[in-house]
Amino acid sequence: MRLLLVQPPLTQLNTPYPGTAYLARFLGEKGVDVSQRDLGIELVHSLFSREGLSQVFEEMEAQEELPEPAWRALALADAHLAAVGPAMRFLQGRDSSVAHRILHTAFLPVGPRLERADLEGFGPLSAQDAARHLATLYLADLADLVTACVEPGFGLARYQHHLALSPAPFGPLWERLQGTSLVDQHLDALIQSLPLDAPIGLSVPFPGNLYGALRIGRALKARGATVWMGGGYVNTELREVTEPRLWECVDALSFDDGEGPILALLEHHNGGADHRHRTLTQAGWHQAQVQRPPMTSAAHYGDLDLSLYLDLLDTLNPAHRLWSEGRWNKLTLAHGCYWKRCAFCDVSLDYIGRYEPARIEMLLDQMEELVEETGVSGFHLVDEAAPPKGLRDLALGILDRGLSVTFWGNIRFEKAFTPDLCRLLSAAGMVAVTGGLEVASDRLLERMAKGVTVEQVARCAQAFSQAGVMVHAYLMYGFPTQTEQETVDSMELVRQLFAAGLLDSAFWHRFTLTRHAPVHADPAKFGVVIPKYNPGFGAGDVPHLDPQGGNHDRFDAVLPLALESWLRRRDLDRPVHTWFDKRQAPTTEPPDRIAKALLAPQPRGQRLLWIGGGVWEEEGSLVVHNVDGASNIPLNDPDLAEWLSEVIEAASPGQDPLSVQDALAAWDGAPLMAKGALEAAGELGLLQV
């Protein structure tokens, strides 16, 4: 059996979106010959080349009216044609010498974004980063030029996404498919290069991929190909689709995890039994009862050309840089969410509601395989929320095997993340976490069944921060019944978290009601009114009214403005109500609420684990040599020094687990002496996890 998996334009430009790569691993292990293509990154290279840009300028020259920046770009067409190739090669990491021209000569034609470039955050030794930032802004200027003059629906990370935002009717999508813009011409040429000797699977994770997928599918079906479509957008938006014109673009839709449905479709396509399940075709639903395959825990990139991806630097926000800068191998600790109660989340769908942890030993094997395959030792854990125990076991396995890797991912701000556990994760290679604080209001956190308190979030963020792990918080406003005062108070607590150094980054988004969330299942319980509306083609998001809540519109501009300032460590003492143009009552939160939360004692685990360096016994002390220097543990009793040295050796990675109780039981002297020695060693690397 053979299959071609295609990622339609456009998603990230720095690393492959993992949907097809996860399927490739699963299907490859089942004996399927799988190929992969990312037409998003290929489209960008086709368009932003000397030839592609020449076509853009030709189309601009035929227009009588252009925005002012476009006239300037047209006047500098020759300079653009000379610069675009080297700039793209530089962003690929293929030609570092271009950095000197970008920084020190008039090489990149200046557009609106490049004109506003601020290199204040780059020091004299950050020349490559500064040049990458300027090259990224230059590429964004070119993309803006295409959007303004050639194709309004184009963006560097999405294509025609406005046509797919739910509730989205199919008519505008279908009408747009009948036309052909210059960008479409480049995409059509790439479609022509796809082989037709196997079925083709299209992955549609976001609204910005749907138009490209339908265009690809329609063209391929016209040439006689079999086309299937799945992915996050299909799972959430198209579960009840009835549009007959869809079948001119695809033969089947795959829901939930793609592994089982695609394998069943392949078997049926190749003349086997009809085990199609969780799939929709023109003939209707196929819901056969078959055994669900186990989760796929790691991507496999196979024949994807990883050299095409661009190392962008479009922001100085440290968390956003993780998303857009550099390549990350994709890994999953657990399918679904172990909490799965949040009222705003798609908990009724399989990708959230079915929790299945990976086998850690297999995951470690796959990490080693991916490092060897890709040459990249960085991993992005794509879990909905990585479980604390799974992270702990992963970190222990990394240390036991002596792996040198870097990883980051999404978590819940759990009390299970103790300071010692966070130090363990940091020692194993964790560099950042992202997590949902949502609304910093205990009333609303309880109402949305978030399972955390503001104080708990603060202590968890402190544990990670003190371990050197960057912390990014997802924030929400406009949750049903949220008052304007509660939004201001939430804003104040976020300010306090930044002022205390507990957050490195954050992002505010406005509440969206989805049809798969508990709020939609029982709107009256949450004070929500759902007006009559036409669900359209894409029907995941639902319009709603919040009669008990405040005017959420007035926060749309203020919240990101204040947040941007706090990210730059500015205005951290400014009263939050002064960010508003109109009169706004001050916060009701005490100014030291977060500071007081950090005074509470933190729990500790029972397993001892040594993450420090080499230990030498000297008269009256132990000398610990860590990578940042040597430190002494003063111990006046030689027997105590010998005991502690043996404890450290027994607690080293790769040894059998050693509990605090067993370690203390091996000491014949006064218990307080041993406990004091353990505490002293704890500061230098003896953890209790």
**Closest by CA position to 401, among listed 432, 363, 358:** 363
Question: Per-residue pLDDT tens for 455-473?
Answer: 999 999 999 999 999 999 9
User: How far apart, in Å, are the Cα atoms of 81 and each of 57, 77, 142?
Assistant: 10, 6, 11
Looking at the fold, whether 407 and 488 belong to one and the same domain comes out as yes
User: How far apart, in Å, are the Cα atoms of 589 and each of 342, 492, 583?
Assistant: 25, 7, 18
User: Domain containing 267 — which CATH number?
Assistant: 3.40.50.2300
Strand order in the sheet with 2-7: 33-38, 2-7, 200-203, 227-230, 252-254, 277-281, 284-287
Looking at the fold, whether 199 and 215 belong to one and the same domain comes out as yes
**Closest by CA position to 21, among listed 258, 308, 335, 313:** 258
**Closest by CA position to 254, among listed 203, 330, 195, 199:** 203
Looking at the fold, whether 328 and 450 belong to one and the same domain comes out as yes
**DSSP 8-state secondary structure symbol assigned to residue 638:** H
**Which residues in the chain come in under a pLDDT of 70?**
276-280, 285-291
- Domain boundary, last residue among 118, 139, 154: 154
**Closest by CA position to 646, among listed 672, 678, 671, 676:** 678
Looking at the fold, whether 562 and 619 belong to one and the same domain comes out as no
Give domain status of residue 522, yes or no. Answer: no
User: Domain containing 323 — which CATH number?
Assistant: 3.80.30.20
Q: What number of helices (H) and strands (E) belong to the chain?
A: 27, 23
Looking at the fold, whether 272 and 181 belong to one and the same domain comes out as yes
Give domain status of residue 310, yes or no. Answer: no
Give domain status of residue 94, yes or no. Answer: yes
* Strand-pair category, 356-357 with 154-155: unpaired
Structure tokens at 220: 């391929």
402 residue type, one letter:
G
Strand ranges for 14-127 from DSSP E: 33-38
Q: Rounded to whole angstroms, how far apart are CA atoms 252 and 546? A: 38
Looking at the fold, whether 273 and 385 belong to one and the same domain comes out as no
Q: Rounded to whole angstroms, how far apart are CA atoms 386 and 399? A: 19
Looking at the fold, whether 432 and 497 belong to one and the same domain comes out as yes
**DSSP 8-state secondary structure symbol assigned to residue 429:** T
Looking at the fold, whether 278 and 350 belong to one and the same domain comes out as no
CA dihedral (533, 536, 542, 544) in degrees, to 10, reads: -20
Q: Rounded to whole angstroms, how far apart are CA atoms 17 and 14? A: 9
CA dihedral (376, 379, 382, 387) in degrees, to 10, reads: 160
Looking at the fold, whether 148 and 180 belong to one and the same domain comes out as no
**DSSP 8-state secondary structure symbol assigned to residue 410:** E
Which pLDDT does position 361 carry in this prediction? 97
pTM for the structure as a whole: 0.93
Structure tokens at 159: 């294509």
Domain tally, the chain: 4
Give domain status of residue 393, yes or no. Answer: yes
Q: Rounded to whole angstroms, how far apart are CA atoms 543 and 515? A: 10
Looking at the fold, whether 322 and 416 belong to one and the same domain comes out as yes
Give domain status of residue 629, yes or no. Answer: yes
Give domain status of residue 304, yes or no. Answer: no
- Domain boundary, last residue among 130, 154, 178: 154
Looking at the fold, whether 146 and 197 belong to one and the same domain comes out as no
Burial of 303 (0-12, 13-18, 19+ CB in 10 A): exposed
- The span from the first CA to the last CA of the chain, in angstroms, equals 47
Give domain status of residue 413, yes or no. Answer: yes
Give domain status of residue 641, yes or no. Answer: yes
- Domain boundary, last residue among 122, 154, 186: 154
Report how far Cα 461 is from the mean position of its chain's Cα atoms: 18
**Closest by CA position to 412, among listed 388, 390, 439, 440:** 388
CA dihedral (564, 159, 432, 455) in degrees, to 10, reads: 60
Range of the domain at 75: 46-154
Which pLDDT does position 279 carry in this prediction? 63
Q: Are 642 and 617 in contact (CB under 8 A)?
A: yes
Looking at the fold, whether 144 and 163 belong to one and the same domain comes out as no
Q: Rounded to whole angstroms, how far apart are CA atoms 620 and 634? A: 6
Which string of DSSP letters, residue by residue, matches 179-227? ---HHHHHHHHHHHTS--SS-EEEE--SHHHHHHHHHHHHHHHHTT--E
Q: Rounded to whole angstroms, how far apart are CA atoms 367 and 329? A: 9
Question: Per-residue pLDDT tens for 631-655?
Answer: 989 888 889 999 999 999 999 999 9
